[in-house]
Amino acid sequence: MSKITRRKFLAGSVAGSAAIAMAPTKKAFGANLEGFPDGMGVLVDLTRCVGCRSCEAACNKEQKLPEPDKSFDDFSVFDERPHGEHRRPTEKTYTVVNRYDQTKTEPVYRKIQCNHCNEPACLTSCFVNAYKKTPEGAVIYNDKVCVGCRNCMIACPFNIPAFSYSSALNPIIKKCIFCYDTRLKDGQVPACVESCPQQVMLFGKRKELIRVAHARIRRSPGKYVDHLYGENEVGGTGWLYLSAVPFKEAGFNVSLPNEPIINNVKDFLAIVPMVLAIWPALFTGFHLLSTKGKSHGHGEGHSHEEQEEH
Amino acid sequence: MKKLAENGIQPHDAEMKSDGRKWSLMEKLLLGLTLDQYLQQVVRNKFNWLLALIFAIGIPLIVYRFIFGLGSVTHSSYDYPWGLLLGFGLFCMVPLSASGFMLGTSVELFGRHDFEPIERLALLNGLLGYLFAVVYLLVDLGQPWRLAYPMVYSFGPAAVLFLVGWHVATYLSVQLAEVSTAFFEWIGFRRGYEFIRKGTVGLTVAGVILSTLHQGALGALFVYAPGKVHPLWYSASFQWIHFFVSSIPAGLCMVICVSTVVIYTMKWRCDQRFIDNLDRITISLAKGAAMGLITYLFIKFLAVAHDNEWAYLTTGWGLWWLIEIGFGVILPLILLSIGIHHKNVNLCRIGALVTVLGVLLNRLNTSLITFNWHLYQEVPHILEVIISITIFAIYIMTYRFILNRLPILYQFKSRADA
């Protein structure tokens, strides 16, 4: 619960001068947050995924997204390499399934969507506070205040948020919201999880899921890589992954820090109140020191020779 | 204008005409020429034809962008959300505008009145640079009409961009106030001039604070993207100070470059004080820039050592980093040092140009070239390039329009002097 009060505290801090309001930032994010205690998550077991794309279809329907370019039973999308990379979520698709070919074993399929971080980089980078981490665990977005700066797309370590560039009047960020509006807030299972015929995804409290995942690794140590992706990455994510192949081989970014992204920015945020507090006295002091005993005059009849040498 | 000057026509530079009458606003706008004379010199100038060509293509494109959305003029990249419009327009224009606070601080706070002849040029350079950085931003934002939201409607105070937004907005106001003294002189509003002059120290201190923070904050924006920005260009601890320190030589050298262009193309507008002092001031600014550059060089290597990234230097990206440092920092440092030592003004000017290009390269490297270094390389859409050039051309035109008129390069002769 302490998390809620911290966030409220942060929001309340705006009341003062907005520039000075940077000061409480460090304190607010300083502690090691472990997310909402009852936050939900999804455990994805990559060993079970067969790449049927049912989840993509379910998401499209649930979120009322536009018709896809290729139908959901067209598996040629797995061979698409836009810009030489695997597919990623776009303004028309909040989730995509990709195939990652392996040298020794069968190909691995992996579903990509917003991972719903405990301490989301998109949220902390947003200057109009359009993002919100709900107690249910979803990272949701308010398109009514979005200015369209796209800083969240820069900040997201998983390259999830997309932007509706094609709209001239109301371009907004498009990303998975954990079916928050239609399902999660009533305690229901997200559409993709419900649609999966292979039971790849397990929906539950994040804390429970971590226990379940480690139990699976313990039970079949030969089957899984001994790592639960998302348990610690960038401060922990709501969506967690188990894999039989090293995560790098399944297209995961394995160079992410375990610290939340915002921690990298704290060095800078911490100096802001210091500059605001110290610079006025420092530079007024310089002014007094360097003009003591000299005329304040401007230009008129000033001689430059004495300062020539500097 | 040169031809007119040969024929004995004097540009407007005083409150009163030689016969003791006041200049009217229309006469001031036409530089004291008749309408015919003014139009003739506009048409005679080849540079105006180039500007007209750029506007003829670019301005319809800007309108096109607002009708059909950003997607119509950019690659709509999800992986490179910030393209050339911000990579150049925001991240390059702002450091080149650091001149305002540098010269303001030197003259008004440190009492270096020997820099006074160029102070107003530096302040104007700062104001216009920021103003057009905001213009670039407005073209790039998805919903520019919501630009004021972080100020008045919905606050995200933990975000670095919140800081950038607030500080750029307040700093623009501060710079507008600083430059307004020239405007008040020109329109003859003596009391406004005196009112602003009284607050000079306060305004200048505010300028230093805001500049320190948002020059740094632009760097800190990229700290959100570890793993996207190449490690050699990324430093969680020092990014803000890299951006801040490099903005100092960038701003000073931009003033050297602009003053060089001015002295060669607009000499008629400069008064004797400006012309006589420019060589001396150029050398002094070069000294400041050289000190900034050597500090910058040192802290760039300090960051590599701090994060122990030496191994990256042997890779292809490492070579590119060394090229950036070699061309953008070490080469101008050598040029400026030799120029200062031999009091060779032209060498200092070349050094200044290389410094400016070096800082541009660093900003483009951070925001576009090494961004997503393990993904594909984004090459900006041709229309985005044309729009960027067009906005820059509007910037040059505005710059020249003001320099031609306001007492920036010359001292205004008030009634008392006449």
Q: Which of residues 184-203 of B touch A (CB under 8 A)?
A: 201
**What pLDDT does B45 receive?**
83
Instruction: Kindly report which listed range (B20-24, B59-63, B180-184, B200-204) carries the lowest average pLDDT score.
Output: B20-24
Q: Which of A120, A100, A123, A117 is nearest to A46 (CA)?
A: A100
What's the rounded mean pLDDT across residues A104-123? 92
Residue A200 within any structural domain of the chain:
yes
Q: When comparing pLDDT for A294 and B406, which is higher?
A: B406
**What pLDDT does A191 receive?**
93
Contact criterion met (CB below 8 Å) for B121 and B408: yes
Q: Which of B171, B166, B86 is nearest to B127 (CA)?
A: B171
Per cent of chain B over pLDDT 90 is 37
Q: When comparing pLDDT for A79 and B27, which is higher?
A: A79
The pLDDT tens digits for B379-392 are 888 999 999 999 99
Per cent of chain A over pLDDT 90 is 48
Residue A280 within any structural domain of the chain:
no
Q: Which of residues 271-300 of A touch B (CB under 8 A)?
A: 271-272, 275-276, 279-280, 283-284, 286-287, 290-291, 294, 297-299
Mean pLDDT score across all residues of chain B:
87
CB A145 to CB B146 under 8 A? yes
Taking 90 as the threshold, does the pLDDT of residue B29 lie above it?
no
Confidence of residue B340 (pLDDT cuts 50, 70, 90): very high
CB A147 to CB B81 under 8 A? no
Residue A101 within any structural domain of the chain:
yes
**What pLDDT does B330 receive?**
95
**What pLDDT does B149 receive?**
83
Mean pLDDT: which of A247-256, B180-189, B349-358 is highest?
B349-358
DSSP collapsed to 3 states, chain B: CHHHHHCCCCCCCECECCCCCECCHHHHHCCCCCHHHHHHHHHHCHHHHHHHHHHHHHHHHHHHHHHHCHHHCCCCCCCCCCCHHHHCCCCCHHHHCCHHHHHHHHHHHCCCHHHHHHHHHHHHHHHHHHHHHHHHHHHHCCCHHHCCHHHHCCCCCCCHHHHHHHHHHHHHHHHHHHHHHHHHHHHCCHHHHHHHHHCHHHHHHHHHHHHHHHHHHHHHHHHHCECCECHHHCCCCCHHHHHHHHHHHHHHHHHHHHHHHHHHHCHHHCCHHHHHHHHHHHHHHHHHHHHHHHHHHHHHHHHHHHCCCHHHHHCHHHHHHHHHHHHHHHHHHHHHHHHHHCCCHHHHHHHHHHHHHHHHHHHHHHHHHCECCCCCCCCCCHHHHHHHHHHHHHHHHHHHHHHHHCCCCCCCECCCCC
Give the domain CATH number at A165: 3.30.70.20
**What pLDDT does A309 receive?**
38
Which structural domain range is residue A242 located in? 34-259
How far, in Å, are A111, A257, B50 from residue B227 at the CA level? 22, 9, 42
Residue A29 within any structural domain of the chain:
no
ipTM of the complex as predicted: 0.85
Domains of chain B plus CATH, in order, are 1-44 (no CATH), 45-405 (1.20.1630.10)
The pLDDT tens digits for B398-410 are 999 998 888 888 8
Minimal Cβ distance to A18: which of B70, B79, B157: B157
**What pLDDT does A100 receive?**
92
Residue A90 within any structural domain of the chain:
yes
Q: B407: distance to nearest CA of chain A, Å?
A: 14
Residue A238 within any structural domain of the chain:
yes
Q: A-B interface: how many C-beta pairs under 8 angstroms?
A: 229
The pLDDT tens digits for A217-239 are 999 888 899 999 999 999 999 99
Taking 60 as the threshold, does the pLDDT of residue A155 lie above it?
yes
Instruction: Quickly count: other Cβ atoms within 10 Å of residue B396's Cβ.
Output: 16
Taking 90 as the threshold, does the pLDDT of residue B3 lie above it?
no
CB B142 to CB A299 under 8 A? no
Q: pTM (2 decimals)?
A: 0.86
Count structural domains, chain A. 1
Residue A17 within any structural domain of the chain:
no
**What pLDDT does B170 receive?**
86
Mean pLDDT score across all residues of chain A:
83
Residue A71 within any structural domain of the chain:
yes
